[in-house]
A and B are shown apart, each in its own frame.
Chain A
Amino acid sequence: MAAPAPPPPDPQFVLRGAHSAVHALHFCDGAEGRPLLLSGSLRGLVHVWSLETRRPLTALDGHGGQCVTWLHTLPRGPQLLSQGRDLQLCTWDLAEGRNAVVDAVRLESMGFCRASVLAEGPQRWMVAVPGRGNDEVQVLELPSKTSVSCLKPEAGARLGMPMCLQLWQAESSSRPLLLAGYEDGSLALWDVSTRKVCSRVACHSEPVMGLALDPRRARGVSGSAEKALAVWSLEGQQALQRGPGSPSPGRWASTHLGLTNPGIADVKIRPDSKILATAGWDHRVRVFQWRTMRPLAVLAFHSATVHCVAFDTAGLLAAGSGDQRISVWSLYPPT
C-alpha cells in the first residue's frame, strides 16, 4: 500500500509529419492484418500510418483542404468513411493499395458534429449525421445513401445543435437507438425507427463535446466544455439515467466527476471496457478506470489542445493534438 505511485508514463512512440493539427484518429487493420492508424488533419489530409514502421504510408486528399473531423472504416474492403468540414462524407476504397474516393454524400450542416455508423446487415450500414435543420439528426443508409429517418426534437425543446452522436443497437432488441449530445448540454436517447425521444437528461451546462457508450453495461460517459465528466446509465434502454450517486433528476451535479481543467474534446472507452480516455483542452489526456471512474493517469505530453483519442483492439491508445503530433501509448495492456 505504501508503495509510491509510479511516475507518469511516456508515450510508446510519437508520429510526426501530419503538418497540421490532428482532428480525427482511427485504428484499422490493413492488408495482411497489419495494424494501421488513420489520422485526419486540419488541412484536409487523411494520413495512413503504419504502426510497424511508424511512418505515413499515404496521405489521402479528398476534402478540399478542409478539416477532416471523423474517420471510420467499414469491414468490407477496407472501406473508409471520412467526414470533413467541406460538408462531404466520403467513402474511400483502400483495398490493394487503392486510394480513391468511391462515393460522397453531401452533408447539410456546418456544425462540428461527428457522424456515427452502425452495421445493419452484412453489406448495409446506417450512418447518423447532423441534418439540414439546426437541431436535426439525419440517419442515412449506406451504400444506398437514402435518408431513412430524420430525428427532429419536438418544437420548443430548445436543445440546440447536435454535438455528438452514437448509434447503437442493444443485443436484446433489433431496434437501433441513437444517443445524441446537444448544444444545451443534454443527452437524448432516440428510437430511430419511431423517430421518438425515449428519454432525455440534462447532464451538462455547456455543449456536450464527446460521448462514449459501453453497450454491454448500458452505461456511458460524456464530456463537455465544463470542468467535469458526466457518467450515466441507460436503464432497460428506455430511460436515460445518470450514473451511480444520482438519486433524483433534480440534483444532477452529483453524477459529475470533477476535472482539474475545463474542456473535454473527445471521450473513448477501450473495446475491452476496462479503461477510458479523454482528450482535454488542457493539452492532457486523462485515463480512468471505467468501472469505478478512478483516475489512473494524466498524460501531459502534448503542447496544444488534444482533439481526439482512439483505442486499438490490442489496447494501444492514440491521441491527436493541435501540436501536429500523434502520441501512441500502451497503458494497462489487456490480458
Chain B
Amino acid sequence: MDPVASAVRLEVQEAVHILSSSEDGGHIVSTLQSLRRYLGEMETQAPPGEQEEFSRTHFSTVLRCVVGKLSPNWLDLLPDGQLKELWASFFLEGPADQAFLVLMESIEGAASPSFRLMKMAQLLARFLSAGRMAAVMEGQCGQQAGPASRLLQETLLTRVVGLPDRLGNRLQREMLAAFFPQNYFPLLGEEVLRVLQAVVDSLRGGLDCSVSFLSQVLGKACVHGRQKEILGVLVPRLMVLTQGNCLWQRVCWRLVECVPDQAMEAVLKGLVEAAPGPEVLSRLLGNLVTKSKKAQFVMTRKLLFLQYSCSTPVLQSLLGYLAMDSQRRPLLVQALKELLETWGSSSAIRHAPLEQQRYVSKAVLICLAHLGEAELRACRDELLASLMDGVKNRLDSSLPPVRRLGMTVAEVASARLHPEGPSLKFQYEEDELTREILALAAPWPMPDGPSEAGLPVAPVGGESPDQETVDGGGPQAGREGSDSELDSDDELVPYDMSGDREQRNSKTPAYVRDCLEALTASENWERWEAALQALEGLVLKSPAATREVSLELAKVLLHLEEKTVIAGFEGLRQRALVAVTVTDPARVAEYLAVQFYALNYSLRQRMDILDVLVLAAQELSRPGCLRRAAQQGSPGPGSQPSVAAVPAWQAVVEERVRRKTRRFCKGSAGWAAAAGPNEFNAVAGYFFFPLLQRFDRPVVTFDLLGDDQLVLGRLAHALGALMYLAVNTVVAVSMGKALLEFVWALRFHRDAYVRRGLLSAISSVLLSVPAERLLADLPDELLEARSWLADVAEQDADEDCRLLAVKALLVLEKLRDRLLPLSSP
C-alpha cells in the first residue's frame, strides 16, 4: 500500500500546487481532469487502490483548495463556464459526506455577502436537488461506527439537521428557497426514504446495515420541532410500504427504536399525530412500548397525564395502538386504572385545568371502548372503586362542567363495567361535549374479530330500501293528481294563533289574598296553578294589598313545593317572590336574608333566597328592566284577546296619523328611559348585611365553610351583585368595607367557584364605591386585595379565576389613573 499512497500523495501535492498558483486556464483544466481520474467517472480510471486512497485522505484537501481559488476571474479563465462545471463536478460526484462538510465549512467561513458565498450556496442547492443528501446519509448506514467516525457522524448530524438555520444565519436576506425549513425538511424526508429503500435492498442482498444515523437525523429534526414537515412526508409513504411487507416493517421498527432517548418523545408525538389510525401506528411502531422504557413512558404517561394537547382522533389512535396487540394490552389496562384514578382524584379535580379533565375523561372512555368484557371483569372491583370515588368527588364540585363530566363518564363507564347491574342514570343537559364524549364510548371491535364489524352494518342496509319506499311513496302519491289544482295553496295566510293556549277550567283568583288562600289551603290543583300564575301580576297591580300580607306571602312562596306538573314552576315562584320583595323591600328582604341562615331549609331554598334578593335589588335599582322581560315571558292568561287586539288597532291608527301628518324634522326618539329615584338606596342594607352576619357560624343543617361550598359560592356572587347594584347609594362605602373583609377571610378557599365569586365581588366593590372614599377609608384593604389579585392572576389553576383577577386588576389600574391626575397638580 505504501507505494500507492505515496504516489497519490505526490500527484495530489503537485496538483494542489498548480491549482493554487497557476493562472493558465488550460493548465488548470488538465490538472483538474487528472484529479478527476481518482473519482472514477472518466474513461481512464485510476486503479481502485489509488481511488480509495484519494477519497479517504486527499479529497477534502483538494476541495478546500478549489474552494479557496473560487473567484469571478478564476472561473472566467476558460470560456462557456467549462471550468465552473468541472469545479462543481468535484462536489457532486466525489464522496458525498466530505463534499457536504467542505461545502458547509466554506459557507460558514465565507465573508457574509460575497461572490464565493453565493456560489457555494447555489452549489449546495444543486447538491441537494441532485439527491446527494441521500448519499451522505447512506454513507453512514453501511459503516460500523468507530470512535473517530462517531465524532464525524456527530458533526455531520448537526450539519444535516441544522442546515436551514446555519444557512439562514449566513445568507440573511439572500436565503434560497431550497433552504427554507418548510422546503428542506420534506426533502430530507424524501431522502431518508430513499436511504431506507437502499437499506432494505441491501438487506435483501444479505448485507448488514444500520439505520441508527437515520434515526438520529429523524430524532434531531423532531427535537427541532420539524415533526410536521419531515413526518408528513415519511408517514404516508411508510404506511404504504409497510403494508404487508415484513422487511419494511422491521426496518421501520428499528428506525424508531434507534432514536436516542432524548428525542424519543418528539418523534413519538409526531408519529402519533401523523398516523391516520391505530393500525398504521401499530405497523410503524411494532411493540416499541414493550422494548423501550422511554417509549413506554412517553406513550402511557406523558401523552396521557402530563400533556393534554392531542386532539381526540390522535388520542384514539394512541390508545388504539396500545389495544391492538396482546403484548400491549396490559399497558392499556394499567393506563385505564391510572386514568380513572386521576379522573376521580379530588385534588386533580380542584387543581387541573378543565381542558385536561376533559382530555382525561375522553381517554378513559376510549380505553373502556377498547377493552373487552373479560379484561374489564378481571379488574372490575378496582375500577369501580375509583370510578365511584371519582363520581362522588365530581358531583361535589360546584363547577357545572366538572359535574357534567362526572355524570357522562360515570354513566358510560358503569354501563360498561357492570353491564348486568343497574346502570347509573343522571339528568343533565346535552351539549357539544357530552355528545362528543358519548360518541367515544361506542365499543371498538376486538383486534381479532373483524366479523363483528360487519354485523352492525347489515341491518342498516336491510332497513334502508323499505325506508325509501315509504318516504317516497306517501308524498308522491299525494302530489301526483293534484299539482294543477293546488298550486295556489301557498296563498293561504294563517290567522293569528297566539291565543291558542292550554285550556283550564277553574277561574283565576282576582285578589292577592285569594291567591294566598289558594296556595295554602286549596286542594283544587287547577286553582292552585292558576293562583301561582296570576300572583305576580296581581302583586304588581295592587302594591297596597300586597303590603298587608307581604310577609305571609313571602313565607308561603318560599316553602311552596311543586305539587303538580306545571310548566315553569320555578320561574313563576321566583318571579312572584321577586314581585313581593320589590313591593315591600324592607320587611321581606330582611326576612329572607335572615331565613338564609335559619335551620330548616334545603340548599335549594337557600339559593333561591339569594337569587330572589339579587333580582329584587336589580328591579329596585333599575326599575322596569325586569318587569318588561317578565311580561314578555308570560303574559297573563286572562288578557289574551286584548293583548292580541291592541297592536292591530294601534298599528292602524299610527299608520293613519303618520299619513295625515307632515313633519319638518324628526327629533331623536331614543331617550325614553324615564328617570326616577333609586329605590334601592333606602333598603340596600336590609338586603346586604344580614347575609354577611353568620356565614362563619355553622348550624346543624348548614355549614357554609364546610360541605356547602356551593352555597358559599352563590353567596359570594350574590353579595357581589348586591354591591354592584348599590352603586351611587349612601351605604355603598360601608358595604364595600364589609365585603372586602368577607373576601379577605375566604381568599384562599379551595373551591374555584367560591374564588370566582370573591373575585367578582372585589370588582363590584371597585366599581361601586366612589374612588375617593375607597382610597381614603380603605387603603390597607385595597393594597392587600391588590397583591392577592396579582397572585391569583398568575398562579390560580382555574382559568376563569385568572381572567376575573386580571379584570379586577384592570379596574384597579383605571381607578388609580383617574385619581392620580387629580392629586398631582
Task: Report the bound CA distance from A235 to B477 in whole Å.
Answer: 8
State the Cβ distance, B505 to closest chain A Cβ, in Å. 11
A273 touches B486 (CB 8 A): yes
Task: Report the bound CA distance from A115 to B691 in whole Å.
Answer: 72
Interface-forming stretch among B109-117, B372-380, B496-504, B541-549?
B496-504
In the complex, chain B residues whose CB is within 8 Å of the CB of A291: 478, 482, 486, 489
State the Cβ distance, A77 to closest chain B Cβ, in Å. 31
State the Cβ distance, B493 to closest chain A Cβ, in Å. 7
In the complex, chain B residues whose CB is within 8 Å of the CB of A248: 463, 466-467, 470
State the Cβ distance, A258 to closest chain B Cβ, in Å. 12
Query: Is B494 at the interface (CB under 8 A from chain A)?
Result: yes
In the complex, chain B residues whose CB is within 8 Å of the CB of A335: 488
Task: Report the bound CA distance from A335 to B488 in whole Å.
Answer: 9
In the complex, chain A residues whose CB is within 8 Å of the CB of B495: 5-9, 296-298
Interface-forming stretch among A40-48, A50-58, A212-220, A313-321?
A212-220
B470 touches A296 (CB 8 A): no
Interface residues of A in 1-45 (CB under 8 A from B): 4-9
Once A9-B495, A260-B502, A274-B492 are accepted as A-B contacts, the answer to whether A4 and B648 lie under 8 Å apart by CB is yes
In the complex, chain A residues whose CB is within 8 Å of the CB of B488: 335
State the Cβ distance, A264 to closest chain B Cβ, in Å. 14
Task: Report the bound CA distance from A282 to B482 in whole Å.
Answer: 33
Task: Report the bound CA distance from A189 to B494 in whole Å.
Answer: 33
In the complex, chain B residues whose CB is within 8 Å of the CB of A235: 473-474, 477
Once A5-B494, A296-B494 are accepted as A-B contacts, the answer to whether A219 and B500 lie under 8 Å apart by CB is no
Task: Report the bound CA distance from A206 to B503 in whole Å.
Answer: 20
In the complex, chain B residues whose CB is within 8 Å of the CB of A5: 493-497
Task: Report the bound CA distance from A96 to B488 in whole Å.
Answer: 41
Task: Report the bound CA distance from A283 to B478 in whole Å.
Answer: 31
B470 touches A241 (CB 8 A): yes
- Which residue of chain B has its CB nearest to the CB of A262? B503
Query: Is A83 at the interface (CB under 8 A from chain B)?
Result: no
Residues of A contacting B: mostly: loop
Query: Is B148 at the interface (CB under 8 A from chain A)?
Result: no
Query: Is B430 at the interface (CB under 8 A from chain A)?
Result: no
Task: Report the bound CA distance from A243 to B473 in whole Å.
Answer: 9
State the Cβ distance, B662 to closest chain A Cβ, in Å. 26
State the Cβ distance, A52 to closest chain B Cβ, in Å. 27
State the Cβ distance, B457 to closest chain A Cβ, in Å. 18
A217 touches B482 (CB 8 A): yes
State the Cβ distance, B474 to closest chain A Cβ, in Å. 4
Once A7-B648, A219-B474, A241-B473 are accepted as A-B contacts, the answer to whether A260 and B486 lie under 8 Å apart by CB is no
- Which residue of chain B has its CB nearest to the CB of A247? B467
Mark each residue of chain A from 217 to 256: 1 if its CB lies under 8 Å from any CB of chain B, else 0. Answer: 1110000000000000101000001111011100000000
Query: Is A294 at the interface (CB under 8 A from chain B)?
Result: yes
Task: Report the bound CA distance from A66 to B644 in whole Å.
Answer: 41
In the complex, chain B residues whose CB is within 8 Å of the CB of A217: 477-478, 481-482
Query: Is B85 at the interface (CB under 8 A from chain A)?
Result: no
In the complex, chain B residues whose CB is within 8 Å of the CB of A4: 496, 647-648, 651
Task: Report the bound CA distance from A289 to B471 in whole Å.
Answer: 21
Option from A216, A233, A247, A298 in Cβ contact (under 8 Å) with B499? A298
Mark each residue of chain A from 257 to 297: 1 if its CB lies under 8 Å from any CB of chain B, else 0. Answer: 00011000000000011110000001110000101101111
Query: Is B244 at the interface (CB under 8 A from chain A)?
Result: no
Query: Is B421 at the interface (CB under 8 A from chain A)?
Result: no
Task: Report the bound CA distance from A88 to B235 in whole Å.
Answer: 88
Once A216-B481, A291-B478 are accepted as A-B contacts, the answer to whether A246 and B497 lie under 8 Å apart by CB is no
The 4 closest A-B pairs by CB, nearest first: A5-B496, A297-B495, A233-B474, A298-B500
Beyond A235-B473, A296-B493, 16 additional contacts (C-beta under 8 Å) are A5-B495, A7-B645, A8-B497, A9-B495, A217-B481, A235-B474, A241-B470, A243-B474, A247-B470, A272-B485, A275-B492, A282-B503, A291-B489, A295-B494, A297-B495, A297-B497
